[in-house]
Structure 1
Amino acid sequence: MAIRERLSGNEAMAVAMKQINPDVVAAFPITPSTEVPQYFSTFVANGQVDTEFVPVESEHSAMSACIGAQAAGGRAMTATSANGLALMWECLYIAACSRLPIVLACVNRTLSGPLNIHNDHSDSMGARDSGWIQIYSENCQEAYDNMLMANRIGEHPDVLLPVMVCQDGFITSHAIENLDLVEDDKVKAFVGEYNPEEYLLNRENPIAVGPLDHFTHCFEHKRQQAQAMMDAKKVVIEVSAEFEKLTGRSYGLFEEYNAEGAEACVVVLNSTAGTAKYVADQYKAQGKKVAVFKPRLYRPFPVDEIAEVLAKYKAIAIMDKAESFNAAGGPLFTDFTSALYAKGVFGPKVINYIYGLGGRDVKTDDIEVVFNKTLEIAATGKVDTVFNYLGVRE
């Protein structure tokens, strides 16, 4: 029987970590992710876990400690946001190429500069090609559930890659919602123990982690890493199906909402998807149908499945809460349009909106602007501007 509880997104992530009881948690505080290790440290102090909690001097040190712990054969976890993730940058690549399935709770916040503590996706989007699996969460329940699945995904022998679970800073990280928690014993049975075949403290099979890797082997190692990312997609599907049997909560590579009969579709990540669903319901009541497509798994990018699903729409608006500064669109936009093109899907007209940078509030009437434009394009087939900004004072 599920445990009904009221938790914020940060506390939900910390509770998931408590139930998993990792060997090491190393962390440094940064708004808005500070509460995750803060809550977890109380579980350590109260004896509710036997984790080695390492309060380090920087986020670079936090990821370095996690790399050392995971390479030694332990299960390591951490949390960070924005500039903290940026300070980890070189270590993110090292963790991924070393095939260390560390789990990181990323509480999305604007990456400076200018200095700003509020939510957008510039931090995790900047790290999207670092070799980490990326999973995004619309609400507190999803943040909790995704944390429970992350170790199973990353530690799978076909994967062995680190996993980043993302949620929106303040919007969900500090919002209190009703959640259904899984019982501790069921979490432990679902996640299981971490028993790597190769690790530094195994005297019977000595290995090196992070050695100099010249052109004689580096390319092959990168190819193996890329294959692991490709294989991660099927593992995400398998683990999500098993999680559904445990909890009744269904997760896929993405969620398609209000799709039946819709010719227009809006693609949006994380908490704004909830606002978009609300507006979609209002429009449906008025006889106007707009689908909402919410990516869950962003790395690896499920090209085949996305192209197949989006091919049926006449118009698609892709919303990016991050700027790529490439004068051609945001990160979601360029990935989605590349997927459609690569799979020969040329029917839908696709436009892009950059929105919510620096925590700019996104209201229902902002979403209505996107819905109305997408419906107009679906009806006329005409696109005036592909690249747009939403809610900015020009």
Structure 2
Amino acid sequence: MREVLEGSQAVARTVARCRPGVVCAYPISPQTHIVEALSVMARTGELADCEYVNVESEFSAMSVSIGSSAAGSRTYTATASQGLLYMTEAVFNAAGMGLPIVMTVANRAIGAPINIWNDQSDALALRDSGWLQLYAADNQEAADLHVIAFAVAEELGMPAMVCMDGFVLTHASDVVELAEADEIDAFLPPYRPQQVLDVEHPTTIGTMAGPESFTETKYLQHLRFLDATEVIERWSLKFREAFGREAGCLVSRYDPDTLERDHAAPPAAAEDIAVIGMGSVIGTLQAALAPMQAEGDHVRLIGIQSFRPFPEKALREALGDCRDVLVIDRALELGAGGVLTGNVGRALAGTRSRIHSVIAGLGGRPILEASLRDVIRRTRAGDVGRLEFLDLKEGGVPVPPVGATEVAR
């Protein structure tokens, strides 16, 4: 049934229907509404057979998640920003121990200065922690991705983050169609842990590894990530067949005429400009490109759903032999450029594409349609360099001369 729901409520209800055995909760904006809703469902019995654990910190939330997952329970938690960084040590441990925990990250900027608004610097700071990272473009996808995340994480034996833009999605109400509990029961296999603490068969998980074996354990994690692309694609296809709508996948191509998601769309022609985004900026890009498309100025739009594993092959196929690739980046590698751009550059190494990193929306600054159209048109005119900060207020900060850096504007 289609209904209007806040993004956090849609996620909470979907997670509950995935039947977690343990939910570990510590509030931090903008994910708090998710764990609050789950607490109400646990109290009323709508979330049955689940232990809802209030903990004293984000570090404790992940530590309890590790214990419950190792004991054989389907486990869920949520966090954001400084909270994610506070649990960093345990986040790495969960991955190294091969525990399929699912965690919502309501993306929010990292201080200092303190900022509670949205960008993607929190999850991307932990991009190499060993967790799958799936990014939602809208609230429908945010809800659906959790079903896929549990399936993929549990098949692979590795944890998964579902990332949704804080406030922009978590606190926005939209029309969504939630999967019913019986539909999820039919889609999501019962949780059968690949490794479990068993008093009848004592074992240890995540123990000490010396130089003689540490490299091999990391190599095995690496191989598991290589397997993950096929597993994500397979479960995304199963979801589409079961529920009749798109969710997940590795990348999404958008038809150049309709700007609707179309996996059958042809790759970009050699003369085209392509724009790549991740998360809710996809909706803004659709709105920004619509008048340009109507005027016959075709620009290819590509959405990244899976950042870890990064879909290098799928991205190359989606872009074709594109001349200019404009990456709208919501997180900055200081002194280098955009985080997403660096991964796109590695995927396109050896191609003819010129890659432009556009840093936009840091700390919740609005990404304006007019500004996006302007940077696209200037790219076509050859007036955009390797790195640009969208709508940078040069009068408000001391900006070095362009010759001293590669900042164009």
Report the TM-score range of the alignment, normalised by the length of the smaller protein. over 0.9
The CA deviation at 1:372 is 1.1
Match 1:216 to one of 212, 215, 227 = 212
* 1:253 partnered with 2:241: no
Query: How do residues 143-292 of structure 1 correspond to structure 2 at under 5 angstroms?
Result: 143-156=142-155, 159-201=156-198, 203=200, 205-251=201-247, 252-259=249-256, 263-292=272-301
The aligned residue for residue 36 of structure 2 is 38
Query: How do residues 336-375 of structure 1 correspond to structure 2 at under 5 angstroms?
Result: 336-341=344-349, 344-345=350-351, 347-375=352-380
The CA deviation at 1:202 is 5.3
* 1:321 partnered with 2:330: yes
The aligned residue for residue 388 of structure 2 is 388
Counterpart Cα distance in 2 of 1:292 and 1:15: 31
Paired AA for residue 19 in structure 1: R
The aligned residue for residue 261 of structure 2 is none
Aligned length: 380
The aligned residue for residue 23 of structure 2 is 25
Q: Which moved more, 1:311-320 or 1:235-244?
A: 311-320
Structure 2 residues without counterparts, runs of 5 or longer: 257-265, 395-409
Q: Deviations over 1:170-225 (max 9, x none)?
A: 1111110111111211111211211124200352x322012111112111111111
CA contact (8 A) 2:378 2:384 kept: no
Residue 332 of structure 2 aligns to a residue in which SS? coil
CA contact (8 A) 1:140 1:177 kept: yes
Counterpart Cα distance in 1 of 2:374 and 2:284: 13
Q: Which moved more, 1:308-317 or 1:272-281?
A: 308-317
Counterpart Cα distance in 1 of 2:360 and 2:230: 32
Paired AA for residue 104 in structure 2: A
Paired AA for residue 330 in structure 1: G
Residue 161 of structure 1 aligns to a residue in which SS? coil
Q: Which moved more, 1:70-79 or 1:261-270?
A: 261-270
Counterpart Cα distance in 2 of 1:105 and 1:91: 16
Q: Which moved more, 1:110-119 or 1:303-312?
A: 303-312
* 1:99 partnered with 2:98: yes
The aligned residue for residue 380 of structure 1 is none
CA contact (8 A) 1:258 1:280 kept: no
Counterpart Cα distance in 2 of 1:188 and 1:284: 42
The aligned residue for residue 335 of structure 1 is 343
Query: How do residues 70-89 of structure 1 correspond to structure 2 at under 5 angstroms?
Result: 70-89=69-88
Paired AA for residue 14 in structure 2: A
* 1:297 partnered with 2:295: no
CA 1:384/1:22 → structure 2, altered by over 3 Å: closer, same or farther?
closer
Structure 1 residues without counterparts, runs of 5 or longer: 378-382
Runs (4+) off by over 4 Å: none
Residue 66 of structure 2 aligns to a residue in which SS? helix
Counterpart Cα distance in 1 of 2:145 and 2:15: 11
CA contact (8 A) 1:73 1:201 kept: no
CA contact (8 A) 2:165 2:280 kept: yes
Paired AA for residue 374 in structure 1: T
Counterpart Cα distance in 1 of 2:60 and 2:370: 43
Residue 232 of structure 2 aligns to a residue in which SS? helix
Residue 306 of structure 1 aligns to a residue in which SS? helix
CA contact (8 A) 1:33 1:79 kept: yes
Q: Deviations over 1:129-153 (max 9, x none)?
A: 1000000001100000101111100
CA contact (8 A) 1:25 1:76 kept: yes
The CA deviation at 1:315 is 0.8
TM-score by length of 1: 0.94
Counterpart Cα distance in 2 of 1:375 and 1:14: 43
Counterpart Cα distance in 1 of 2:185 and 2:255: 36
Paired AA for residue 347 in structure 2: A
The aligned residue for residue 122 of structure 2 is 123
Counterpart Cα distance in 1 of 2:378 and 2:371: 11
The CA deviation at 1:384 is 5.2
Counterpart Cα distance in 1 of 2:304 and 2:375: 18
Counterpart Cα distance in 1 of 2:309 and 2:353: 23
The CA deviation at 1:258 is 3.3
Paired AA for residue 73 in structure 1: G
CA contact (8 A) 2:137 2:164 kept: yes
CA 1:107/1:369 → structure 2, altered by over 3 Å: closer, same or farther?
same
CA 1:375/1:258 → structure 2, altered by over 3 Å: closer, same or farther?
farther
Q: Which moved more, 1:37-46 or 1:305-314?
A: 305-314
Q: Deviations over 1:96-149 (max 9, x none)?
A: 010000000010000111111000000011011100000000110000010111
Residue 282 of structure 2 aligns to a residue in which SS? helix
Counterpart Cα distance in 2 of 1:95 and 1:4: 36
